[in-house]
Structure formats: structure tokens, C-alpha cells
Amino acid sequence: MFIILIHFRKSDSQIDYYNEDHKQFLKENIAEGNFITAGMRSPKTGEAILSCIDDLESLQIILSEDPFYKQRIGQYEIIEFTPDMTCNQMQEYMDTHDENC
């Protein structure tokens, strides 16, 4: 599993310009089971994505299609981890999406 932190490094106007395409990218990858959730960080310095992709290379290929990545809107920090403890709902999700999680 991976946590992806996007650290914004462009102006709000540039972020806003590509935001709809970026949101569509996120929605598609959530629908495909690549991402579990995504959202804005507080304060608004970037975004966070939780991914259950099982290998870094595959994740990097997917992220390279993100409009924010293509336009260098942010710096991407990828943190790999193995969940040892989860709530029941998360465990059920992981069990039913085993091919990705």
C-alpha cells in the first residue's frame, strides 16, 4: 500500500486550471480500484492519495498520467507501508479488492 503526498508548488490559478482534469484522473483510478481515497490536505498545501497498488513501478506509471504530474503542479512524495491494523470496514474492503490491495 502507498500514501502519495502531493506538495503544491504552483500558483492557485495554475492548480485551478488543471483541477477538473486531475479530479477526473482520481475518479477513474478510484473506480478502477487503484486508489482508495483522495483529498485536499489541510491547510491547502497539497493533496493526499491512499493507493492499494502492490508495486512502486505500477504506481509510478499510473501517477505519470495525472494532469498535475504532467504539468508539474506538485512534487509527489510516495510512502510505502504495510498495514498491520485496520478497522473492520477497511479490512472488508481489502478482502473484497484483493487483486489490488
pLDDT string in tens for the chain (101-residue length): 999 999 999 999 999 999 999 999 999 999 999 999 999 999 999 999 999 998 999 999 999 999 999 999 999 999 999 888 878 887 787 777 666 66
Domains, the chain, in order of start with CATH, read: 2-96 (3.30.70.1060)
Note the pLDDT of residue 58: 97
Task: Note whether 18 and 71 are within 8 A (CB).
Answer: yes
Rounded to whole angstroms, the Cα distance separating 25 from 16 reads 15
Rounded to whole angstroms, the Cα distance separating 43 from 49 reads 16
Note the pLDDT of residue 100: 60
Note the pLDDT of residue 101: 60
Entry pTM: 0.88
